[in-house]
Amino acid sequence: MLVLLGIAVVVAGFVARINPLLVILAAAITTGVCAAVAPGVGPAALWAAGVDTLAAFGKAFNDSRYLHVVWLVLPVIGLLERAGMQEKARGLIASVRAATAGRVLLVYLLLRQATAALGLTSLGGHPQMVRPLVAPMAEAAAETRDPALPDRLRFRVRSFAAATDNVGLFFGEDIFIAIGSILLIVGFLQQYGIAVEPLHLALWAIPTAVVAFAIHATRLVLFDRALARAAAGAEEPR
Amino acid sequence: MITLEHVYAVVGLMFAAFAVLSIVDASNPKRLLNAAFWGLLALSLLFGSWLGDLGNGVLVLALVLIGGVGGLGVGRPATTTQEERRESAGRRGAWLFLPALLIPLIAVGGTLLQDHTGLGAALIADRQTTVIALGLGCVIALVAAVAWLRPPLLAPLQEGRKLMDSIGWAALLPQMLASLGAVFVIARVGEVVGGLVADFIPLNGPLLAVTAYCLGMALFTIVMGNAFAAFPVMTAAIGLPFVVQRFGGDVVVVSAIGMLAGFCGTLMTPMAANFNVVPANLLELPDRNAPLNGVIRAQIPTALPLLVANIALMYLLAFR
């Protein structure tokens, strides 16, 4: 039971907004030391358990270095952005003549999920795409339909823009074979002597991806209707 | 034959270059911390196999102290202007996406070649094939992009460093959480949680086991803020012993959909700061400091039905 203190350290650390790297290492050492606690075990033995845990953590860290291979894409992506890839992407999305907030976000959901499934997760994201591009486009579309868009709905449109990025990313990226979560599953099962192929894990992520798209797309269509009703309501004579 | 160690060497050299370029970047007030952080990561990638377990542990401790206490800055190497990028985008068109698309194509193609052809088997090692093919794809795409665009010599490294700096210490997070998971396995945390679950919830059928596993993944992710941290615990506690071993579920289906059930939890928690809190700040939502801010409230009605769908999909697909 005492080993569950490690989980408590994680929760407390995140609540207190301490840097997650520190929290995770502290939780690991806590778990290792707590596992050694028993009647008759002295401070020296607990210190040794702490050192052993650091070594075990170091071994696992070294064994999971494959998670960094994905950063090799950054020089390529950076080079392409330098040559205007983002500007080209923006131009392509802007040329889609779908002037409702829901439809703009629907197109983005499709693009985000499809590119994430190809491993191009860095094509989206909140600082790079949502704030400068997706949210303003959706907001502009909503304003065109309803010039008197109330603040409540304006912030709702922005929230939906961020939510759409997350849904597209989460349920697209797992179709790509070399993404962190797939590699984590492979590494974890390896510790139990179970060998699985990343490609097979990626295949079984597809059904959920389809359902996620269907659910979120339906909500975007319903959101468009809610916006239209609000606009019609505002136009009625008082 | 190309092995994982070769790919590690290339990645390590890239991080070593980031470290050196960080030292001379006067635009970054924390340039020495950045250099030390990326330098230590380069050390891990290049020589990790020779450092010993405790040596690697001390290396992690140093990385955590630099990234968690000192903090990293963001370098701003010289780059092209907005106008130059627009002009280049207009001139080069959609071809700009091609090198980026080469990477996943080579990653998938290389994996298939290794599996099914003699040439592929001779070229790429059969352990961690996908990762090796991904590394190969990046190198080939970079060579192609440089040959086509003819940028200044250091531009790929400088652009890569800028992106790496913007990711910062978070780049270490998945690896840290994977290692925490390993410590949890050694300390049998999963079994303790599994014992608690088994004591309090009767897992006497595949549907109940699948439901408990998926709900556990989502709940634990809400607490931990990350499905990566929940996955080793819940899979060791319920997924492997109950769904897979007792009821005979397919381990690939169970682990793939289990992770996605965890992602439903990520959509509903303020602990997942980079997905749910950062955008609320960036978009200046009035309720951005509330535990359930606008972004999370916009996501919950997608996350809950999707969680139910994951339970149904796992039940239907894992016991075919």
Mutation target among A61, A160, A185, A213 for the B interface, most CBs of B within 10 A: A61
Chain B residues with CB-CB distance to A82 below 8 A: 79-80, 85, 149, 151, 155, 159
Distance CA A194, CA A175 (A): 21
What are the respective helix, strand and coil percentages of chain A, to the nearest 5?
80, 0, 20
Report which of residues A198 and A109 the model is more confident about: A109
**How far apart, in Å, are the Cα atoms of A232 and each of A144, A151, A152, A228?**
13, 16, 16, 6
Decide if A57 touches B, using CB distance below 8 A: yes
**Optimal mutation site among A34, A54, A66, A219, interface B, most CBs of chain B within 10 A:** A66
Q: Do B67 and A19 touch (CB under 8 A)?
A: yes
In angstroms, the Cα distances linking A118 to A74, B89, B104 are 15, 22, 6
For residues B166, B167, B168, B171, the Cα torsion angle rounded to the nearest 10 degrees is: -170
* Inter-chain CB proximity A159 and B4 less than 8 Å: no
Q: How far is the C-alpha of B179 from the C-alpha of B59, rounded, in Å?
A: 14
Burial B206-220 (b: 16+ CB within 10 A, else e): beebbbbbbbbbbbb
Chain B contact present for A102, CB below 8 A = no
Per CB-CB distance under 8 Å, the chain A contacts of B179 are 24, 28, 57, 60-61, 64
What residues contact residue A237 under an 8 Å CB cut-off, 6+ apart? none
Residue B268 has a pLDDT of: 95
Say yes or no to pLDDT of A122 above 60. no
For residue A206, give how far its alpha carbon lies from the nearest alpha carbon of chain B (Å).
10
d(C-alpha B130, C-alpha A174), whole Å: 14
Query: What type of residue is B30?
Result: K
pLDDT for residue A166 is more than 70: yes
Is A47 touching B (CB cutoff 8 A)? no
What is the number of other CB atoms lying within 10 angstroms of the CB of residue A12? 14
ipTM: 0.81
pLDDT band per the 50, 70, 90 thresholds, residue A132: low
Q: Which amino acid is at A218?
A: T
- The tokens describing A154, both together, are 């304006």
Q: What is the pLDDT of residues B53-91, one digit of tens each?
A: 999 999 999 999 999 898 888 888 889 998 999 899 889
CB contact under 8 Å between B80 and A83, yes or no, is yes
* Residue pair B218/B229 in contact by the 8 Å Cβ criterion: no
Contacts of B214 (CB under 8 A, 6+ apart): B257, B258, B261, B307, B310, B311, B314
Model confidence pLDDT, tens digit, residues A21-35: 899 899 999 999 999
Torsion of CA A11, B264, A185, B1, to 10 degrees: -120
- Specify the pLDDT at position B73: 86
Is residue A93 very low, low, confident or very high in pLDDT (cuts 50, 70, 90)? low
The phi and psi torsions of A206 (rounded to 5 degrees) equal -65, -45
Which pLDDT does position B108 carry in this prediction?
75
What local confidence, expressed as pLDDT, does residue A52 receive?
Answer: 95
Inform me whether the C-beta atom of residue A227 falls under 8 Å from chain B C-beta atoms.
Answer: no
More confident residue, A163 or B162: A163
Q: What span, in angstroms and rounded, lies between the C-alpha atoms of A57 and B186?
A: 10
> A119 and B103: CB-CB below 8 Å?
yes
The chain B residue lying nearest A18, using CA atoms, is B68
pLDDT value at position A238? 47
Q: What is the arithmetic mean of pLDDT over B124-141?
A: 86
pLDDT tens digits for range B255-312: 999 999 999 999 998 777 778 877 887 787 898 767 788 999 999 999 999 999 999 9
Which of B108, B131, B256 is closest, CB to CB, to A204?
B256
Instruction: Say which residue, A7 or B157, is predicted with more confidence.
Output: B157
Residue B37: how many other CB atoms lie within 10 Å: 28
**pLDDT for B223 beyond 80:** no
Exposure b/e, B262-293, CB count within 10 A at least 16 = b: bbbbbbbbbbbbebbbbbbebbebeebeeeeb
